[in-house]
Amino acid sequence: GEKEASADGQKKVVLHVGSTVATTHAWYRAAEQMKDEVYEKSNGSIELVLDFGGVHGGDREITEAVQNGTLGMAWAADIGYATVFPEIGYVNLPYLFPSQEDVDSTYYNGWIGESVKSTMEKKGMEILGFTDSDFRYLTNSKQPVQKPDDLKNLKIRTPQNPMYVKFFTEIGCQPTAMNITEVASALQQKAIDGQDNGPILTYTFGFYQFQPYLTRTNHAFAGAALFTSKATMDKLSPEQQSIIRELGAKYADVSLKMMREDVAVFEKEMADNGVQLLDSTPELDALFKEAAKKVWNDPEATKNFDQEVMKKLLEQ
């Protein structure tokens, strides 16, 4: 009943919220709270329906669905929605953000976040709030990775991103791009040996069941956002719009705090389940940084990115 009216005469709308992550993920927990508060504040005129677990397909499909208004909003990693908007691919450049402080100051609250927002706006999208996705660590089923030789011929799943394919080829792996919703069965069937998500996704997607070795390589960082689109906002009254904007920003931040707490919890949970968690080594770091440098300076790998931003980044 999309067309029923709520108590105070506002037009009642049902907004589907899509995401690929599982219901154990902080995004889902935050979205559940958001759903209740949105319903309450809008006097029942906005109902959020949470379609998590990839029921609407991978990040590319979900982002397209938000863009054309099929889905009301979505939580997705920047690396996911960048498949539809390759201009913003620079946010995932290896070693762009060395620490969490850098993420907060230059990305979420800084100039990089602003340029992501403005690019998205031109495509009819509206970012309600930034949140974390994950560190990029390396997990695999073959052996503990501590030196460059351990990486040789590991078949690694990468996000659907040519830059990562290049990066992993540089360090000696066999990269294969696939949707995150297919990774668990690929790991279980041994179609791939490993993947490069951190504790949050490795735990909530259940990848750790097939991945006894994790190395904290931290070769890149993936941020994320809760976003909607102009198509959806236009269906709402001004009051409803401001509720979505206010609570979207609030709960993106709620999920961010939850996730940063989850890191330690999930790492411990994985360790208890027999996953060997290792720190990176100077040898390994050197190899990764060398490969990163090549990616940064390869015009072919960065050709689809916003060139103005790219120029600014290279100057720094």
Partner 1 sequence: MERNNKIAAISAAICFLEKNITVIFFFLMLCLLMIQVICRYYLHLPLAWVEEMIRYIYIGVGFLGAAVAVKERGHIEINILPSILKGILKSNHKVRKVLMFTDVIVYIIGTGFWTYIVYTMTHYMLEVKAQNQLSVAMEIPMWIIVAIIVISSILCAFHYLFNLILIFHLQKTLDTGEEEVLKQHE
Partner 2 sequence: MSNLILFLTVFMLLAFLRFPVPFSMGLSAIAVMLYSGLPLTSVAPAVFASLDSFTFLAIPAFIFAGDLMAVAGISTAIMNFSNSIFGRLRGAVGAVTVVTSLLFGAITGSSLATITGIGGMMLPEMLKHGYDRKYSTALISACGFLGILIPPSIPGIIYAMMSGTNLMKVWLCTVTPGIFLGISFILINYFTYGRKQEKTKENFQLSLYFGGIGKSFKESIIALLMPVIIFYGIYGGVFTPTEAGAVAVFYGLIIGWIFMPLIKKNWPEKKIKTLVEDSAISSASIAMLMVFAAVAGRMITFTRIPEVLTNTLLSVTDSQFVFLLILNVLLIIVGMFLETNTSILLLGPILIPVATSFGVDPIHFAAIMLLNLEIGMVTPPFAANLFVGCKVGKVTLDEVLPHMIPFWIACLIVLLIVTYVPSVVLFLPNLF
Interface ranges with partner 1 (CB under 8 A): 60, 64, 68, 83-84, 86, 153, 155, 160-162, 165, 169, 173-177, 304
Contact 47, 39 (CB under 8 A): yes
127: nearest Cα among 223, 59, 225, 50: 225
The yes or no reply on residue 53 touching partner 2 (CB under 8 A) is: yes
Q: Which of 5, 68, 118, 300 binds partner 2 (CB under 8 A)?
A: 68
Strands 155-158 and 194-195: parallel
Of partner 2, partner 1, none, which one sits near residue 310, judging by CB under 5 to 8 A according to partner kind? none
Q: How many residues bind partner 2 (CB under 8 A)?
A: 26
Site string for partner 2, 119-138 (x = CB under 8 A): --------------------
Q: Which of 117, 119, 148, 191 binds partner 2 (CB under 8 A)?
A: 191
CA–CA gap between residue 241 and residue 229 (Å, rounded): 11
Q: Name the residue nearer to partner 1 (CB basis): 93 or 259.
A: 93
Minimal distance in Å, beta carbon 301 to partner 2?
24
Contact 213, 207 (CB under 8 A): no
Minimal distance in Å, beta carbon 70 to partner 2?
5
The yes or no reply on residue 172 touching partner 2 (CB under 8 A) is: no
Of partner 1, partner 2, none, which one sits near residue 160, judging by CB under 5 to 8 A according to partner kind? partner 1
Between helix 162-170 and helix 282-296 the angle, nearest 10°, is 140
Q: Is 283 helix (H, G, I), strand (E, B) or coil?
A: helix
The yes or no reply on residue 182 touching partner 2 (CB under 8 A) is: yes
Minimal distance in Å, beta carbon 81 to partner 2?
15
Contact 18, 66 (CB under 8 A): yes
Contact 243, 46 (CB under 8 A): yes
Site string for partner 2, 2-21 (x = CB under 8 A): xx------------x-----
Contact 136, 219 (CB under 8 A): yes
The yes or no reply on residue 298 touching partner 2 (CB under 8 A) is: no
Burial 276-285 (b: 16+ CB within 10 A, else e): ebbebbeebe
Q: Provide DSSP, 193-216.
A: SEE---HHHHHHTTGGGG--EEEE
Q: Is 30 helix (H, G, I), strand (E, B) or coil?
A: helix
* Residues making contact with partner 2 (CB under 8 A): 2-3, 16, 49, 51, 53, 55-58, 60-61, 64-65, 68-70, 178, 182, 184-186, 188-191
